[in-house]
Amino acid sequence: MKKRTLYLLLLPGLLFLTIFMVVPIALTIGTTFLQEGSFTFSGYLTFFTDDYFMSILGTTLRVSLLTTITCIILGFPVAYYISKLQSRKKVILLLLTIFPLLTSPVVRSFSWMVILGKNGLLNNVLLSLGLRQEPLEILYTPTAVTIGLVHLFLPLIIVTLVGVLENIDQDLLRAAESLGASKVAVFKKVVLPLCVPGLMIGSILVFVGSFTAYTTPALLGGRQRVISTFLYQNAITLNDWYLASIIATIMIVVTFVVISLMNKAAHKLNPKG
């Protein structure tokens, strides 16, 4: 197929992305540097010198990082186990893993509100067993938001890692064991480096999803603001579209910076990947 034909096939998709994504994003970013018809950085200076704004950004970053790390810790063993199963059992477990994605985030968030509430299931169990004298204050905290986001994005990292782990050549593992490497050494020196690309892709999906999520933080966080709920508040409630555009731009920049850092980390951990 000629290159000209390939370019023509790409043209409709490129036009769609340009018109409906690139242009609106460029206009949104452009408006943040204009105030009363003049070029200025005052909006960003106000944001980064305001303790309240920075605390919201810091909370969002902490929640997103904690969610990503927790998903890796919980998801890696599960993905490793699933990848070792026969095809029939693997399909069943993958379907069970993907099934929560078919449930609305609103429904899942409300279920956690029932569990984590002051009179919820968790506190009722702890109080009835005598493990607590007073109910735990978990709901409407960053901890509750993190729990909800882990539940929301854990399937993504499991599915990503299963695809990588099942494609590892078993001859490499047998060769390492035949040369005297223990199972721990095989995992550390062979399996883990080969999983780095999938691990980074899964981590990016989880982090970006957690950083930009709105429904779960809004329901489980309550008055605890994160960057997405802060954006909604300024755009819809306060009708401050200038500050909302600045927040959106910061979200875009942070997302690209994190993706770049993760890609660099992936190249260092697996230079041949």
Across the chain, what does the average pLDDT equal?
87
The model scores a pTM over 0.75: yes
For residue 225, name the pLDDT band (cuts at 50, 70, 90): confident
Q: For the segment 134-172, what is each residue's pLDDT rounded down to a tens digit? A: 888 888 999 999 999 999 999 999 999 988 888 877 777
Q: For the segment 110-134, what is each residue's pLDDT rounded down to a tens digit? A: 999 999 988 888 888 888 888 888 8
CB 226 within 8 A of CB 56: yes
Does 120 or 58 have the greater pLDDT score?
Answer: 58
Classify 36 in phi/psi space as left (phi over 0), alpha (psi -120 to 50) or beta. left
CA angle 251, 254, 256 (to 5 degrees): 110
* Residue 197 confidence (pLDDT): 81
Residue 273 has pLDDT above 60, yes or no: no
Q: Provide CATH code, domain 55-269.
A: 1.10.3720.10
- Rounded-to-integer distance, Cα 94 and Cα 82, Å: 8
The string of DSSP letters for 147-194 reads HHHHHHHHHHHHHHHHHHHTTS-HHHHHHHHHTT--HHHHIIIIIHHH
* Residue 187 confidence (pLDDT): 78
Question: Taking residues 214-224, what's their average pLDDT?
Answer: 89
- Rounded-to-integer distance, Cα 142 and Cα 221, Å: 6
